[in-house]
Structure 1
Amino acid sequence: MEAINCGSGSLIFLSRRGPTLSHLFFANDFILFCEANKNQATQLNDILRIFYHFSGQKMNRGKSQIFLSPNVPIDLVDATCRDIGFVRVDDLGNYLGMPLFHKRVTTNTFDFVVSKVRNKLNEWEVKKLLWREELH
């Protein structure tokens, strides 16, 4: 946060007119957002070094992932991955059951959530009907 506050860090816009973001923390996981360049890679390594110094918890870089925009030139991708020491992935997959998006969110993006909720409600309705039959 100090890097952000003093202007040497970067904030990522979540959408054209949306809020900016530099990081997310949840339980024992964290996600950092930055630009793909040498300066940001150095700052990321500094942040991780400071985190280890104060927490005593060293991060496993082999299990850590980096996602870079398809617009980043391949030579910069290779240099960034080498400098940071993370595994590059094309898709970050799911986190806490929800997909981490890399594309525009549309009205169909969360159809799977609506489907899961409908299925659960149907299961409850069936159980309720069976319970009523047992009472009579």
Structure 2
Amino acid sequence: MERLSHLVKAAVNAGTWKTIRISANGPALSHLFFADDLILFGESSMQQVSTIMQCLDDFSAASGQQVSKPKSRVFFSKNITDAQGAEISAGLGIPETKNLGRYLGVPVIHDRVSKATFIDLIDRVDSRLAG
């Protein structure tokens, strides 16, 4: 996974990988790794599809590991039309999703954080502590 991180960073430094920012002054994001899971962030364009696929292909050639496309999903911001999303999804060969679900019991995408955001997690912890 370290090799993939280096490939992504090299593409960012070369200017071919267009990062995203969560806020105007926030850090540029290109990727996050969690154990054996990864999230890739990039501009929604066919040019980025080519850059992302090149990094993944180079990683596969170097490591012998492959991305499991059936287990992967692509998520788009609200600014992308359905047609744009379908084109990019097809280019990646990865299905689109509108809901990223939960990771380690926490919603991946949510609105303003409130007690309701984590109520399921709190209930499960309370239940285990009571047991």
TM-score scaled to structure 2, two decimals? Answer: 0.80
SS at match of 1:114: helix
Structure 2, unmatched stretches of 5+, are 1-8
The residue that corresponds to 2:55 in the other structure is 47
The answer to whether 1:105 aligns with 2:121 is no
Q: Spell out, residue by residue over 1:14-38, the C-alpha distance to the aligned partner (whole angstroms, 9 max, x if none).
A: 2344332110112222110111101
RMSD: 1.8
Give matches, 1:11-50, under 5 Å: 11-50=19-58
**Structure 2 counterpart of 1:72, which letter?**
I
**CA apart distance, 1:117:** 3.5
Contact 2:20 2:42 in 1 (8 A): yes
Aligned length: 122
| Identical aligned residues as a percent | 34
* Greater C-alpha Rg: 1
TM-score scaled to structure 1, two decimals? Answer: 0.78
Contact 2:17 2:52 in 1 (8 A): no
The answer to whether 1:2 aligns with 2:2 is no
**CA apart distance, 1:13:** 1.4
The range that moved more, 11-20 or 42-51, is 11-20
